[in-house]
Amino acid sequence: MSASRNNRMAMALCAMFTLTALNLPSLAYPPDPENAALLYYQAFLALPKVEDPVDTQLRDYADGKTELNKAIEDYVGSCRGAIGLAVAASELRQCDWGLRYSEGFNMLLSHLGQIRGLARVLIAEARVLASKGDYEPAFERCVTVLKMSRHVGDETLISFLVAVAVESMTDNCIGDLLGQIPTDSKTLGQLKKELDALAKKPLSVAKPLETEQEVAVKQMSMARIGELMTAIDPKKSEKEAVDMATKLGGETFLKKCQDYYAKHMDSVMSILRSDSPYAKTHQQLTELAQELEKEPEKNPEAMVTAAVAPGVSKIYGNMIRGRTQRNALRSAVEVYMIKTRTKKLPDKLPAGLPKDLFSGEDFEYKKTDAGFLLRCRAKDLDKDTIQEYEFKVPK
């Protein structure tokens, strides 16, 4: 009887616990991070260390300057965990790197070097995949890097320039792969779709400039001026900078410096927002910078602005160069798609393709022995050259 009673009691307790569990909220493990930066940081940690000569070989291979070898392929294979994290991160909308903007110009940006290294590994994997005929996942890896660049490029000016460099490296890889891929309208169509989607939210220098302005203005105080001027000129001690600002009027002087800086940056932003043609915008930004160089001689309030204001004409030139390269790539994809359908290159570019932003006109198109060439119709003023982009066609 005792054993029977114990069995009945155990069954009753089991039923009670089951009913209780059914009435509780469902138990689940915590959700995955929604902040892409957390996954990128994990990817940085997951990347295996690489030493020379493999490191140099990997860089050259990612840039298309050397052939694949076993050491490169083995290293890229060992990076699968980091690559998976990067792919997952690139699909997230939010990316907060947790930067300490309160540190001003001393703020650490160590993630930027890591981003370049991670991007290089992803591009190397894209080339490895293409070497095996896996073009669709190869292009997917390239698109991952382009999405990564969007997570980096809208913070600081240095972040923006790193993002532009990463995009250029990726565009070069995509161009090389297009010169290898056999007829495949599906893969080309998917690539076109991805590039068109990214073109709707191109890298822009506007937000980084606004951030730069906020950081700089907060540095223009007696509490931070020594730190600011030392960051600009390591030969100047903090005491010298503080003494100089004190003699010129202290906080009152620095408030005038803030006002002058704000006025200068408002002029910069006004020029950028005007959407004028490249040559006119470049000229206006250059003239504004030249005027600023002369100002401190007659106006001490311009001194800090002259020291901290970024060289916007060159930064703007980087933005236009990057966007033009992307437009050339998108136009090239259209040419490859025509080649896939008709079995031959078109005699001229179809209407409605992305423009050469240096001139605002269609690219000049020319067939070559190896494939075709897209050439800009106006100079890249920073480089003093006409940019052109060569694309090969598989035989």
The pLDDT of residue 1: 46
Quickly state the pLDDT bin for 26 (edges 50, 70, 90). low
DSSP symbol at 101: G
Its pTM stands at 0.87
Q: What is the pLDDT of residues 75-88, one digit of tens each?
A: 999 999 999 999 99
DSSP symbol at 345: -
CA distance 144 to 194: 10
Mean pLDDT of the chain: 90
The pLDDT of residue 196: 96
Element (H, E) at 45: helix 36-46
Closest CA to 377 of 367, 389, 387, 369: 387
Range name among 173-182, 201-210, 230-239, 250-259 with the lowest pLDDT average = 230-239
The pLDDT of residue 181: 87
Q: Which residues make beta-bridge pairs with 385?
A: 380
Amino acid at the residue 271: I
Contacts of range 33-37, beta carbons closer than 8 Å, 24 or more positions apart:
33/92, 34/92, 34/94, 35/92, 35/94, 35/95, 35/96, 36/89, 36/90, 36/92, 36/93, 36/94, 36/95, 36/151, 37/89, 37/95, 37/96, 37/97, 37/98, 37/111, 37/151
Residue 327: C-alpha distances to residues 60, 289, 321, 361, 365 (Å): 25, 29, 10, 12, 13
Q: What is the pLDDT of residues 288-338, one digit of tens each?
A: 999 999 998 888 889 889 888 889 999 999 999 999 999 999 999 999 999
CA 199-386-180 angle, to 5 degrees, is 60
Q: What is the pLDDT of residues 107-136, one digit of tens each?
A: 899 999 999 999 999 999 999 999 999 999
Report the C-alpha dihedral over residues 111, 114, 116, 120, rounded to 10 degrees. Answer: -150
pLDDT > 80? residue 150:
yes
The pLDDT of residue 222: 86
pLDDT > 80? residue 5:
no
Tracing tokens 């100047």 back to the chain, one arrives at 236
Do 251 and 141 contact (CB within 8 A), yes or no? no
Strand order in the sheet with 388-392: 364-367, 371-375, 388-392
Tokens linked to 123: 């591009």
Do 53 and 62 contact (CB within 8 A), yes or no? no
Residue 371's SS3 state is strand
Average pLDDT score over residue span 250-263: 92
Residue 130: C-alpha distances to residues 11, 47, 82, 140, 177 (Å): 61, 22, 20, 11, 7
pLDDT > 80? residue 235:
no
Helix ranges, 248-381 (H): 251-273, 278-294, 303-308, 312-342
